[in-house]
Amino acid sequence: MDFFTVEFFTALLTIVFIDLILAGDNAIVIGLAARKLPQHQQKKAVIWGTVGAVGIRVIATLLVVQLLSVPWLNLVGGLLLLWIAFKLLVQEDSHDNIKAGNTLWQSIRTIIIADAAMGIDNVIAVAGAAKGSSHSEHEMILVILGLIISVPVVVWGSTLFIKLINKFEWIVYIGSAVLAYTAAKMITHEKQFHGALDENKLIFWLFIIIVIILTVGSGYMVNKRKQASAAQKSSQSH
């Protein structure tokens, strides 16, 4: 079994990047859930909450990878991922509903439940990126390796990564483009299209480029409109 191929490493890098770009929310949830605990228990809550969340996510992702063989699910998953790619650019998430746990177990449970509820975008994206691998036995290894590499970064470097995204806004646009690319590839792998989108390389790349431009472009336009509206309100209030 040859893992040292360009295709394998490209898929792995895509998965790690997706894990990181979608991990900001999870990092915030981990911090909020453990904030009321004594300092010596906070680390335990973060570690065990993350271990539980990762375990659930690995199982969920591998199930989704298998489900992508079912007719039309590649198309549905791809369209859902395009919506996620768009929402990544324009969302304004509130985390007011995340209650801090008063005990170690409550905090761990909050982290696991919140991560499972929020992790659907990550599961679909990672499954889509892994499904692009030509060897089915690679899919499981890609999913697990991607999480092993990115989880320590999320847990210990999450605040740094969030600051990085806030400082360099273009990172989110790259993230959205990677998600749109993954989504477009998922759609081209839909067996019900009988290879109409992925057998002809020109049509394949044309479709992927159009999908990326439409997704990132529409997100950019919505953001510009929001900024213009906020500036107008600000000038009226002064």
Q: What is the DSSP string of 17-54?
A: HHHHHT-HHHHHHHHHHTTTS-HHHHHHHHHHHHHHHH
Q: Is the pTM of this model over 0.85?
A: no
DSSP state of 101: P
Residue type, 75: L
Q: What is the pLDDT along the chain (238 residues), one digit of tens a residue?
A: 456 688 888 888 888 888 777 776 666 677 777 777 887 888 888 788 878 888 888 888 888 888 888 888 889 888 988 998 898 888 665 555 566 777 888 888 887 887 776 677 788 888 888 876 555 667 888 888 887 777 766 666 555 666 677 788 888 899 889 989 989 988 998 888 888 887 888 999 999 999 999 999 999 999 999 888 888 887 777 6
Q: How far apart are CA 171 and CA 159, in angstroms?
A: 15
What pLDDT score was predicted for residue 137? 67
* Residue entry with tokens 């394949």: 204
Q: How far apart are CA 185 and CA 211, in angstroms?
A: 10
| Alpha helix stretches (DSSP H) within the chain | 6-21, 24-33, 39-67, 73-90, 104-118, 120-131, 136-167, 170-188, 201-237
